[in-house]
Amino acid sequence: MSKVRTRFAPSPTGDLHIGGARTALFNWLFAKKMKGVFILRIEDTDVERSTQEAVQGILDAMKWLGLDWDEGPYFQSERFRLYQEVAERLLREGKAYRCYCKPEELEEKRKEALRAGRKPKYDRSCLERRVHPLNQPFAIRFLSSDHGETVVDDLIQGRIVFDNSELDDLIILRSDGYPTYNFSVVVDDGTMGITHVIRGNDHLNNTPRQIQIYQALEYPLPKFAHVPMILGPDKKKLSKRHGAPSVMEYKKMGYLPEAVVNYLVRLGWSYGDQEEFTLEELIEKFTLEAVGRSPAAINPGKLDWLNSQYIKKKDLDGLVRLFRPFIEEKGYFISDIETLRKIVSSLRERVKTLVEMANLSEFYFTQEVSYEEGGAKKFLTSDSLLIFNEMREALLKERVLNRETAHRLIQNLSEKQGLPLVKIAQPVRVALTGRTASPPLDEVMEILGPERVIQRLERAVKYIEQKEEK
């Protein structure tokens, strides 16, 4: 058996979205599983819509997901001469013919066929043409078989039979010399030795046309595997109304690449009840036979859960590196890496995304906390003044503030005031964080340090006194 060669071939007309990313992932996993070759090919023949920015976006997204390629990226725009040579060969062999019909003529033929109740296929009026007009532009059409059947033995969808009489003599080279998709993809896959074409099932109807071109060019036929589409949570076609974010949007939203990969592979592929997989496990366990035929619906809640698991398990220094840009985006910069490690450690069990972590960590960085959210103000009353002042006095006597010291101070104050711990801790929590929920208070106090804890207690005292004066 020849070495497995798969490819991912996006068009650089926009961002790489989750449907394309999943296709890339399935190709990558299958190639890795079979110890084969994964190729990246950029299908940029749509010159008007293709952009270098989109190309870079695709490369960045692939790298972020960890989908490294063994060959490429190849660009179709650099292969025009090859497409033209192959089209000329088909002309010479009588497997294609020149078409001089103008767009308006073709449109009239289409309308006439519809009026007559016929399938709007090209009528082959140029096939029998014996005189070729000089200096008149022409397209090249593939002469398709119009009898018998073309069979697709799909590795996911099963055996599908197409009636050749339903197929058209499709244009393979336009009059401007640009190849069409169905032609260029066959030439590329054939000359690159692709053994398995794994792609979305929106390409399934193109497959019989492509098979006929493979046969005409005497290229080895690859195995086809058409992956079902991804639907929105409402089971309707995925669209912008569902958010349908690009891969790099997931990065901006604070998801870890490992979580996104795990999430994408589970959209259509299953392995018992197992939900979490390492990349090594995915390579070991992935098979095309386990890809379902039915569309998979996105589940944002599942991604959030997966991401929270990966955040909890990520090595701390790696998580700090990923987190840092999110807090810096808010304008906070910290050079003390040990403090940053403590902050991330204090929040990693509580968040679903790095954006959420950045939002919840702001009280560690800001100079002044706000008491205006989430019912915080109700804990800042005259009853809290004694607690804050006592805590401040106790802190001034301490040389070191760590978790043990902080816990002891809260415990002592609780006993001295004759109040439950929560009655001490909650007002202090609000004074230090501006929130009614936070990481453990002794942890918060250690990270803030004695000076900032005292400053915030004093500010809370002033806030209460000003409120009492009004």
**Residues belonging to the active site:** 240
Dihedral sign (CA 422, 427, 431, 437):
positive
**The pairing of beta strand 171-173 with beta strand 139-142:** antiparallel
The length of the chain in residues reads 470
Residue type, 188: D
CA angle 306, 308, 311 (to 5 degrees): 110
Contacts of residue 19, Cβ cutoff 8 Å, sequence gap at least 6: 200, 229, 230, 238
In DSSP terms, 237 is beta-bridged to 231
C-alpha span between 401 and 395 (Å, rounded): 8
Axis-axis angle for helices 181-191, 207-217 (nearest 10): 50
Q: What is the DSSP letter of 37?
A: E
Query: Which of these, 345, 279, 278, 343, lies nearest to 311 by C-alpha position?
Result: 345
**The pairing of beta strand 5-8 with beta strand 149-154:** unpaired
Q: What is the DSSP letter of 272?
A: T
Note whether 446 and 406 are within 8 A (CB): yes
What are 410's two structure tokens? 């809260």
Q: What is the DSSP letter of 62?
A: H
3-state secondary structure of 29: helix
What are 39's two structure tokens? 């190729």
**What kind and span of H or E run contains 230?**
strand 230-231
Contacts of residue 260, Cβ cutoff 8 Å, sequence gap at least 6: 21, 65, 247, 250, 303
Query: Which of these, 385, 398, 388, lies nearest to 449 by C-alpha position?
Result: 398
Report the Cα 414 to chain-centroid distance in Å: 50
Residue type, 345: S
Residue type, 121: K
What are 17's two structure tokens? 């979205």
